Chains A and B, each alone.
Chain A
Amino acid sequence: MEELLEQLADILEIDEIKPQDEFESFEDWDSLSVLSIIAMVQSKYKIVLTATEVRNSKTAQGLFELIKNKG
């Protein structure tokens, strides 16, 4: 989880993200962030996510659960 939080913070260009923070609350959350997350997850975890799945995951915790369930 810690590694994922660091990668999400990097994508969203913020210092820190907490598991329950809503993606949409961040200024840099946009369609490119979704593509960045899909590319990052595919590269780091070899798991293929769809854009809809990433959007619906809502938070870092939600994304973590999604990756865990698809892994």
Chain B
Amino acid sequence: MTLYNPMDLTGKTIVITGAASGIGKATAILLSKLNANLILLDINEKGLNDTKSQCKPDDFIGTVDLTDESAVETILKEAVSIRGKVNGFAHIAGIPSIAPIKAITKKEAQRILEINTLPALYLAKILSNKKYKAEESCSFVLISSVYANVGSSANVLYTMSKAAIQGITKSLAIEFAPKKIRVNCVAPGFIKTQMGEKINHFFDSEHDTLIESMHPLGLGTPEDIANSIAFLLSDASKWTTGAIFNIDGGFCAQ
């Protein structure tokens, strides 16, 4: 008897952005175990190759700057010609931003939006097109943050970029429902990743203890978020759209 796995992704082609490290890498490895065909995108070629070495040999990797819409479409066109039309994507690439309001600039605000938020629109626009979208089930997953739900000092640009993701999720869920494309969002709590390490210098050593104490189940791992992404990409969530999943160890329950 074959084991029943409602999250099986056999035959599905999935695009993952930010696949070179952290949550993106963990998601790629998990989806590969669930037998998905992968199109892995990131600006970091070395990290992508490392991720691919833990996935299937014929998975597609593309080094691309996600802020360049036409470059994204060009590489997706190439990927689809090789791996076939796609059944969904997870936009995981993102960067942190720690700055009180008095230290922010318009240029920095635009940079954060261009990396964290706008690619969600480009990817949805490109991959909802019949030229690239598979006929059968299709699911888009966007990554927000607990900081789109609760306030946080010196975090306004990141919050802005991640709150926008929640709005995009709900609007596109409605717009795409007639096309049978589901759009959902995961809002992670604090995860131990390289992205977190990039902002450690802003804080004193007590900060880590404080952040950990805000998570009743402790800090998360990239795999904790990858599991929820896999669920949303699979047919196990076929009646779920426009949803925001707080995967945060209880952060927002308080």
B-binding residues in A (CB < 8 A): 10-11, 32, 35-36, 38-40, 43, 48-52
Does B105 count as interface, using CB distance less than 8 angstroms? Answer: yes
Say yes or no: B153 contacts A32, CB within 8 Å: yes
| Chain A residues whose C-beta falls within 8 Å of the C-beta of B100 in the assembled complex | 32, 35-36, 39
Per-residue CB contact flags for chain B residues 101-113 toward chain A (1 = under 8 Å, else 0) read 0111100100000
Give complex CA distance A38, B98 in Å: 9
For the complex formed, measure the closest distance between the CB of B246 and the CB atoms of chain A, giving whole angstroms: 26
Number of B positions contacting A (CB below 8 A): 14
Say yes or no: B201 contacts A50, CB within 8 Å: yes
| B interface: dominant SS | loop
Does B204 count as interface, using CB distance less than 8 angstroms? Answer: yes
Known: A32-B153, A32-B154. A39 touches B203 (CB 8 A): no
A-binding residues in B (CB < 8 A): 98-100, 102-105, 108, 153-154, 201-204
| A interface: dominant SS | helix
Across the two chains, which residue of chain A brings its CB closest to B154? Answer: A35
Say yes or no: A35 contacts B108, CB within 8 Å: no
Given A11-B103, A36-B102, A48-B201; 12 other pairs, CB 8 A cutoff: A11-B102, A35-B98, A35-B100, A35-B103, A36-B100, A38-B201, A39-B99, A39-B100, A39-B103, A39-B104, A49-B201, A51-B204
Say yes or no: A10 contacts B102, CB within 8 Å: yes
For the complex formed, measure the closest distance between the CB of B195 and the CB atoms of chain A, giving whole angstroms: 15
Which of B98, B99, B103, B154 has the most chain A CB within a 10 Å cutoff? B103
For the complex formed, measure the closest distance between the CB of A41 and the CB atoms of chain B, giving whole angstroms: 10
Say yes or no: B202 contacts A51, CB within 8 Å: yes
Say yes or no: B99 contacts A35, CB within 8 Å: yes
Give complex CA distance A10, B204 in Å: 23
For the complex formed, measure the closest distance between the CB of B157 and the CB atoms of chain A, giving whole angstroms: 10
Q: Jot down 5 A-B pairs with beta carbons below 8 A, ordered by A.
A: A11-B103, A35-B202, A36-B103, A38-B201, A50-B201
Across the two chains, which residue of chain A brings its CB closest to B204? Answer: A51
